[in-house]
């Protein structure tokens, strides 16, 4: 019997994502001037106020207030009428030095013997239902909000948009797990005030259905375009007026959108957030590494769908174990346990080896903090960072290294494909 599956996304202006982006901007600035920085920083945003807290061990000094304000302005919170804007909000910092008890388990004389920054389990997932090996419902949810943000910044076709928004996509699957059609789409977007609420709702619905969705569909591959139909149930701003939003409408905290950040409810999640953590924290680095493994396994033809789990003990170099689940989609006669055994010979999952393989000690994290950490484009960009004393660093930074298909040939060789 056919079934429905739903995933959601939130925009860069969602309060939790504002917090994530500030935390990751701090990470990038620390790493730009000291690649060995150890950082765990959390951000809280609310009406007119930003609170920064956390632990740092670094040889650089930053103007954390300016970094927070610049991040908020870049997102689009630039007007006093939003009750939260980068130029006027208060920024309070309670960042202090990292605990020696934690650091003792991580730093070693030999970098190769670096221990895990914490205990826990991390998951990576990949499926062949999309070109970027991501679950379709989540991929579409992200695309809707990315395009909505483009429309907001263009200020041409839709001129009343504010930064906060959410989306949700429900897809009907066949018994053999093949997407059949889009069943429902939910879009809630913050907007400027209108004179008449009824006219406002009518216009917003029309603009989302007639302008936004066609722009999203136009950028999709043909096999996904055909899933859109005239019977889609649209829920556009279903509660009505949405003028009060962002950190004024709801307090935002770092790390509260971990399912949006990963696979939209597909696969599994170990529970650890990513943003605000340097790569010695395996919550982040090992989650990227397991995605890298899963994606390369699916791309190599090992299975149509793969879940990878790795687990660690704080301060211990080698992982506790690697688990693989192919959901019965393995293309040859091999158990998931046998696959996991081979995977452990291909990918070195010691924390320092992950950092080296994926180039994680570069300032690559601001781009991850909105619209998902997985399924994104691997590319190199040039970034410039400035310290309070005027010193600048201009760096070429490779983004989303865990999305590279650079191990496909090695996987095929080991598995005889």
Residue 165 is assigned to a ligand binding site: yes
Query: CA-CA distance, 303 to 295, in Å (whole number)?
Result: 10
What is the chain's length? 417
Residue 194 is assigned to a ligand binding site: no
Closest-CA residue to 193 (of 245, 242, 246) = 242
DSSP-derived 3-state class of residue 223: helix
How many distinct helices (H) and strands (E) make up the chain?
13, 13
Residue 256 is assigned to a ligand binding site: yes
Residue 176 is assigned to a ligand binding site: no
Residue 233 is assigned to a ligand binding site: no
Residue 309 is assigned to a ligand binding site: no
**Greatest extent of the chain over all pairs of C-alpha atoms, in Å:** 67
Characterize the bridge pairing of strands 392-399 and 179-191. unpaired
Residue 16 is assigned to a ligand binding site: yes
- Kindly state the tokens that stand for 147: 């395009």
Residue 42 is assigned to a ligand binding site: yes
Residue 361 is assigned to a ligand binding site: no
260-295 burial, b for 16+ CB within 10 Å, e for fewer? Answer: bbbbbbbbbbbebbbbbbbbbbbbbbbbbbbbbbbb
What are the φ/ψ torsions at residue 56 (nearest 5 degrees)? -140, 140
Residue 383 is assigned to a ligand binding site: no
DSSP-derived 3-state class of residue 6: strand
H or E element, residue 7: strand 3-10
DSSP per residue, 317-340:
SS-SEEEEE-TT-BSSS--HHHHH
The separation between the first and the last C-alpha atoms of the chain, rounded to the nearest angstrom, is 33
Residue 225 is assigned to a ligand binding site: no
What's the chain's Rg over C-alpha atoms? Answer: 22
DSSP helix, strand, coil percent of the chain (3-state; round to 5)? 35, 25, 40
Residue 281 is assigned to a ligand binding site: yes
Residue 277 is assigned to a ligand binding site: yes
Residue 111 is assigned to a ligand binding site: no
**Alpha carbon 375 to its chain's center:** 9
Please, are residues 368 and 274 in contact by the beta-carbon 8 Å criterion? yes
Q: Packing angle between helix 15-33 and helix 64-75, nearest 10 degrees?
A: 130
Query: CA-CA distance, 19 to 258, in Å (whole number)?
Result: 13
Query: CA-CA distance, 153 to 20, in Å (whole number)?
Result: 21
Mark the binding-site residues, compressed into ranges: 14, 16, 42, 55, 98, 164-166, 241-242, 250, 256-257, 273, 277, 281
Q: Residues annotated in the binding site for L-methionine, as ranges?
A: 55, 98, 250, 281
Binding site for K(+), by residue number, is 42
Which residues fall in the annotated binding site for Mg(2+)? 16
Binding residues for ATP: 14, 164-166, 241-242, 250, 256-257, 273, 277
């Amino acid at each position: 019997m056919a079934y429905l599956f739903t995933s959601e996304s939130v925009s860069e202006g969602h309060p939790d994502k504002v917090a994530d982006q500030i935390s990751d901007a701090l990470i990038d600035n620390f790493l730009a001037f000291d690649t060995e920085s150890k950082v765990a920083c959390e951000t809280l945003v609310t009406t007119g106020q930003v609170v920064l807290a956390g632990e740092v061990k670094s040889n650089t000094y930053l103007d954390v207030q300016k970094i927070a304000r610049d991040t908020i302005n870049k997102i689009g919170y630039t007007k006093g009428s939003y009750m939260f804007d980068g130029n006027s909000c208060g920024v309070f910092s309670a960042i202090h030095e990292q605990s020696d008890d934690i650091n003792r388990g991580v730093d070693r004389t030999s970098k190769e013997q670096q221990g895990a920054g914490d205990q826990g389990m991390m998951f990576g997932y990949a499926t062949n239902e999309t070109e970027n090996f991501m679950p379709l419902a989540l991929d579409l949810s992200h695309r809707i909000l990315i395009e909505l943000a483009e429309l907001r910044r263009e200020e041409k076709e839709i001129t009343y948009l504010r930064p906060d928004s959410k989306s949700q996509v429900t897809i009907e699957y066949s018994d053999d797990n093949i997407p059949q059609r889009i069943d429902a789409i939910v879009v809630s977007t913050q907007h400027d005030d209108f004179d008449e609420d009824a006219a406002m709702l009518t216009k917003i619905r029309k603009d989302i259905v007639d302008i936004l969705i066609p722009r999203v569909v136009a950028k999709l591959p043909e096999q996904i375009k055909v899933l859109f139909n005239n019977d889609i149930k649209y829920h556009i701003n279903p509660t009505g007026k949405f003028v009060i939003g962002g950190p004024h409408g709801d307090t935002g905290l770092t790390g509260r959108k971990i399912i949006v950040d990963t696979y939209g409810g597909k696969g599994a999640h170990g529970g650890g957030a990513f943003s605000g953590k340097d790569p010695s924290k395996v919550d982040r680095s090992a989650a990227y590494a397991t995605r890298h493994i899963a994606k390369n396994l699916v791309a190599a033809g090992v299975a149509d769908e793969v879940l990878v789990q790795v687990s660690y003990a704080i301060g211990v170099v080698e992982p506790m174990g690697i688990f693989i689940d192919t959901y019965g989609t393995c293309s040859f006669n091999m158990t998931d346990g046998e696959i996991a055994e081979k995977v452990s010979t291909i990918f070195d999952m010691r924390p320092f080896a992950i950092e080296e393989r994926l180039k994680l000690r570069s300032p690559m994290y601001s781009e991850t903090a909105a619209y998902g950490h997985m399924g994104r484009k691997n590319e190199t960009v040039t970034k410039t960072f400035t310290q309070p004393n005027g010193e600048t660093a201009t760096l070429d930074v490779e983004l989303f290294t865990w999305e590279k298909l650079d191990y496909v040939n090695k996987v095929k060789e080991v598995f005889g494909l």
